Structure formats: C-alpha cells, structure tokens
Amino acid sequence: MDDESDVTDLVAYHLKAKGFQVETVNDPNGSIGAARSFVPDLVILDVMMPDLNGIQICRMLRADPKLKRVPVIFLTAKAEENDRIQGLELGADDYICKPFSTKELILRVQSIIRRSTEAVPEEPKRLQVGEIVIEVDRHEAFVQGRRIELTATEFKLLRLLMERRGRVQTREHLLINVWNYETEIETRTVDTHVRRLREKLGSEADWIETIRGVGYRMAERRAVEASG
C-alpha cells in the first residue's frame, strides 16, 4: 500500500517477477477492506500517506481479528531511528527506507513469509517457564492463565528463548533463527522486539535476562528465587 503509484508499480513488478501474487492499493482509506477481502500473507506499507498514514493502518491491522497476525513491512523515506522504533513497536516485522534495493526488499519479503508460514508441528506441544505458557500447536501464549496477543515474530522469539532455556542467545543468533537474516542488519531490531515482548509478559518479564553486550537468555531460575 503506497500513495505513490510509481513506487507501488515498481515493488509489484519485482515481486510478481519472483512468483508472488500481488494486490496493490493506492487509496489508504480502502486498504483494510481490501486486505480483509483476501487476507494477504504479508503487507507492505508506506508510512507517509494522506488521510490515513502507514502507522494508523498498521494499528488497524493489529486490531482486526482477521488481519492481526499478517506480517507488515514499512517502506518509507523516513529514516530516523525513532520512526523505525515506532514502527517496530506497533508490531511491524521490518522497516525498509527509501531509496531501497529491490533485491534486499525481495529477500526480506521471502524471509518474513517463510517464517510466518512455517508448518505447525503435528503433535501438540506445550512449553512453560514460570507462569508463561505457550501452546505451540495453537500458536497461543498465556501469562498467569490469561491469553496475551503476540505477533508472529514475538511468538517465535518467545518460543526460541523458552526452548533454549538457560542458554545465552546472541543478537546475531536471534536475527538468523527468528528473523532468518543471514546478512548484517541493525541489532536494535532484536532489542526493540524483546522490550515489547517483556511489556506483554508483565510480571513474568524478568524471566528474560539481558546478557550485556551479548544477547538474551531465558533464566533457569527466576532472579527473586535465585537470591532467596
């Protein structure tokens, strides 16, 4: 979704050339209705649009039961760090600044779609750390018995930390295994997602430990228990 038809056409052309089915929307006001009509595997949004901007549309996507888990990439000329962080905090999965490389865009699209459509294990699987529980087969997470809403990226990040409990996960390792990035990107992406995940975990957030200068770890024992 972009208010500039030439940008929309360029992105659509290259994605179609790689075999993707593409639907373009140049009217922001019709974007949610269009998305609900076919439920896309991924949405590319421009932040700077008239009437409704990309930030507002992302909020609407995340609030819609039918669209809340659809991955979102922001494509925009706003390169400031605060803008990128705001986009990621709203639940966007990636943020690409104009001018951009179409090759990089396609690689990121492929990466996000690959991780968001991974096959669910045939056998039900349940992971628990403290009062944090995830039902892997149903893609659901609970804190103290209350279901919490996680994006696909947040869920995969939490699952990886829980599965590898007690082992330090470097930011680079997380980028590869959660984001499927094999090339260097800003590690601030990891920090932003961990911070947002902690906020959703509430009183159970301290299970995720920060290993300064390295990465993160799901604790073997809770800090208050270890000191008691």
Q: What is the pLDDT of residue 209?
A: 95
Q: What is the pLDDT of residue 66?
A: 85
Distance CA 122, CA 127 (A): 15
User: Are the C-beta atoms of 31 and 64 separated by less than 8 Å?
Assistant: no
This prediction has a pTM of 0.53
**Cross-strand pairs, 73:** 44, 94
Distance CA 224, CA 206 (A): 9
212 contacts: CB under 8 Å, gap ≥ 6: none
Q: What is the pLDDT of residue 5?
A: 64
CATH number at 5-116: 3.40.50.2300
**Bridging pattern class, strands 215-218 and 43-45:** unpaired
- List the end-to-end C-alpha distance of the chain, in Å, as a whole number: 53
Three-class secondary structure of residue 217 per DSSP: strand
CATH number at 126-227: 1.10.10.10
> 13-52: per-residue pLDDT in tens?
999 998 899 988 877 788 888 888 888 999 998 877 777 7
Distance CA 105, CA 14 (A): 9
User: Are the C-beta atoms of 116 and 42 separated by less than 8 Å?
Assistant: yes
CATH 3.40.50.2300 range(s) for the chain read 5-116
Distance CA 68, CA 92 (A): 11
CATH 1.10.10.10 range(s) for the chain read 126-227
> 74-118: per-residue pLDDT in tens?
887 766 666 667 677 777 788 888 788 888 889 889 888 887 766
Amino acid at 158: L
Q: What is the pLDDT of residue 182?
A: 53
